[in-house]
Every structure is written in structure tokens, then in C-alpha cells.
Copies of this chain bind each other. A is one copy, B any other.
């Protein structure tokens, strides 16, 4: 079973977790709460939020009452931002056979994949955290 679009559980958890953080703003939300709410491993969630924190998307506070808060307005955080932090940098698909391996003059996939990738890219960019807060 395979998804056509590449979204790891980690990226999905990051988005869902950040929505929860945004909803509680300006209060802090801790990893334990997020893990329970999303039925995920706390260790995994903590790791993901460490990366979000290092990248400046959230701020973190230690100690009791500690946790995470958004570091910028929810309107300014897109799923693309999150995706790039969690999944690493995006390649706007060219042929998955790297160029050295392919002896066809014109890439078989060319237009098709690039168009779709751009489409996905734009869609990810348009998904903002603020979309999910009432």
C-alpha cells in the first residue's frame, strides 16, 4: 500500500501538533499532551518538536508550565514550512532515475512530474496553520 504523495508520519504529526499548539495560544503546550492527543509516541513527538524549535517555528520553555508556543503568527506558518523542516529539502521532481543513469534524450517523466510537483508545492504553501483555528 503506497501513498502517491510523500508525507511521512513525522510531517503529519508536526502539522497536527502545531495546530494544537496554535489553538492553545498563547499558552504553552507540552509534548506529553500532544502525544496523548495525537495517540503518538511521546519520544517521537518530542524529537519532531525539537526540530521545529531549532528551526524557529516554535519556542520552547523548560520546567513545569513549560512546553511549546508558536514563534510567529499562525497565518505565516504553512505546511510547506513544516514539511521542509521535517522531511528535509524538497526536490521538485525531475526524473527519479538520476541523470547519469538515464540514456533517454528527453526525460520520460518530464512535464508530467514537474507540473504535479509544482501543484503539490503550491498546495502545501497554501495550507496555513491559521486555516485550522476557529
Chain A residues at the B interface, C-beta cutoff of 8 Å: 1-9, 11-13, 15-16, 19, 37-40, 87-93, 95-97, 100-104, 108-109, 112-113, 115-117, 119-121, 123-124, 126-127, 132
Contacts and interface: CB of A to CB of B under 8 A. Distances in A.
Contacts of A102: 16, 38-39
Contacts of A38: 97, 101-103
B40 A101 contact: yes
A117 B5 CA distance: 7
B16 A121 contact: no
B89 A2 contact: yes
Contacts of A108: 15-16, 19, 132
B116 A9 contact: no
Contacts of A117: 3-5
Contacts of A115: 123
A123 B132 contact: no
